[in-house]
Amino acid sequence: MMGNSNIKERVFASLNERIYEFDHDSGLHVQIIPKKGFKKKFAFLATDFGSVNTEYIDENGKKVAVPCGTAHFLEHKLYEQPDGDVMNQFAALGADCNAATGFSKTFYYFECTQNFEASLDILLRHVFHPYFTKENVEKEKGIIVQEINMYLDDAYYVGSAELLKLLYKVNPVRNDIAGTEESVMSITPEMLYACHDAFYRPNNMCLTVVGDVTTESVQEALQRAKLPTQKGKIIKVYPDEPTEIFGKSSKCIMETSQTLFNFGFKDNPAKYKGIEMVRRKLAGRIAKEVLFGSSSDLYEKLYNSGYINYDFYASYEIEREYGMFTLSGASEKVDIIQEEIKKYIENISKNGVNTKEFTAVRNALHGSSIRAFDALSYLGRAFGQFYLQGMDAFDYLTTCGKITEEEVNDIIKNLLRGEMAISVVEPKGGFDI
């Protein structure tokens, strides 16, 4: 190991796992999870910048507006460099690469079995050293607008997007990650450079490497990368979002063969920090399986009655900026399903979850979390994204077995018994909600 006293080693003896962490001189937080003997290597570079970041205050105290879709646009353009398409450069080295923009973060990653150092050089170079011109930005606008229109023709996407607009009044999570045609057309190279300078500073980012790699090799790559010098932090501005839902119901008519529904409940992430947020995430994950999984009483009742099919799905998400519990599926009996869910939740809120079912689900999820330590790409994503949200992925992967019935019952009583938002997409000749 190089002589860097800043490197901290955390050892988890029960799992025979360890992680090395340090803050690079540039401010970039680095996590290295060694996997001796593994052939595959994975690198994940994430920034705390997503579609919800539509406003910030710069070093001069000036408030800057960011057009919707800018984070996504920036992600696309960072793959174009003066020496060609970055994806082709990764492919030439035998590495698979990709990127994604979410509500709260943007990330870039690659995995390979050879040429790791050269691939890491490419990752650091293309993410930290942007290349925008008027011509390549204008060309990209047409591509992204086409992508937006494609999603707007997808009934499943429209249904979930409409649900977000019901749940949230002003939080930018209600906006499409890719933006609108109008917002995308307003983006300029100058805006992209300004956003890159504001949000792609190393102290707003995290690099996670998993595999049979040395700390020295990662440090040497950072030295070669010539990362931007340490800068102060800009202030991210978020609107004050009410705790209650914004709207109760919406209906869209589209070219679809079946009626689609999305039900949603709005959680309050401000109540949870650090390990509390970790436990809330895990309790929500257990709750959705116990209450609405394919072996639950409600699922079997609705399925056997012909009210739902295999598309029925529950999800719980909570991040620093938003939180929601959602249910989705396809059915011509949305009103019946809605009433059955309300009665089901009310009944369980009085009696609590079944202890045997709770224990079985919790133990199964705990086992899958422990097995995840052998999934390099999952580990890299988890550690990088959790760090940016102020959480510890080790806590998440090892705490599932400690979640209590009370925590799951709290979600049922204080979240699922709250107001429900309902988004329906139906073909012509449907019904009113």
The residue-averaged pLDDT of 118-144 equals 96
Helix (H) or strand (E) holding 405, with range, is: helix 405-411
At 368-383, the pLDDT tens digits run: 888 888 899 999 999 9
Q: Which of 75, 111, 162, 241 is labelled catalytic? A: 75
The mean of the pLDDT values for the chain is 94
Q: Domain spanning 249-426 has what CATH number?
A: 3.30.830.10
Read off the tokens for 186.
Answer: 């307003």
Taking CA atoms, 1 is separated from 6, 185, 209, 328, 336, in Å, by: 12, 49, 15, 50, 63
Ramachandran region of residue 4, left (φ > 0), alpha (ψ -120 to 50) or beta?
A: beta
Predicted pLDDT at 291: 97
Predicted pLDDT at 1: 38
Instruction: Please tell me which residue, 370 or 116, carries the higher pLDDT value.
Output: 116
Question: Rounded distance, CA 72 to CA 17, Å?
Answer: 35
| Percent of all residues in the chain with a pLDDT value above 70, rounded to a whole number | 98
Would you say residue 20 has pLDDT above 70? Answer: yes
Predicted pLDDT at 139: 94
The residue-averaged pLDDT of 274-300 equals 96
Q: Which of 207, 226, 198 is nearest to 46 (CA)?
A: 207
At 33-61, the pLDDT tens digits run: 999 999 999 999 999 999 999 999 998 89
Predicted pLDDT at 242: 96
Would you say residue 2 has pLDDT above 50? Answer: no
Count of C-beta atoms within a 10 Å radius of residue 67: 18
What's the chain's Rg over C-alpha atoms? 23
User: Do the Cβ atoms of 42 and 209 come closer than 8 Å?
Assistant: yes
Angle, CA 44 vertex, CA 38 and CA 45 arms, to 5°: 155
Predicted pLDDT at 371: 86
Residue ranges of the chain that CATH labels 3.30.830.10: 8-236, 249-426
The residue-averaged pLDDT of 184-212 equals 97
Predicted pLDDT at 428: 81
Instruction: Please tell me which residue, 428 or 223, carries the higher pLDDT value.
Output: 223
Q: Domain spanning 8-236 has what CATH number?
A: 3.30.830.10
| Percent of all residues in the chain with a pLDDT value above 90, rounded to a whole number | 88
Residue at token pair 């992600």: 75
Residue at token pair 């679809």: 256
Predicted pLDDT at 84: 87
Read off the tokens for 146.
Answer: 């086409």
In the residue annotation, 75 being an active-site residue is answered as yes
Read off the tokens for 337.
Answer: 């399903």
Predicted pLDDT at 429: 63
Q: Which of 238, 263, 67, 83 is nearest to 169 (CA)?
A: 238
**398-417 burial string, b = 16+ CB within 10 Å, else e?**
bbbeebebebbbebbbebbe
The residue-averaged pLDDT of 245-253 equals 97
Question: Rounded distance, CA 113 to CA 207, Å?
Answer: 19
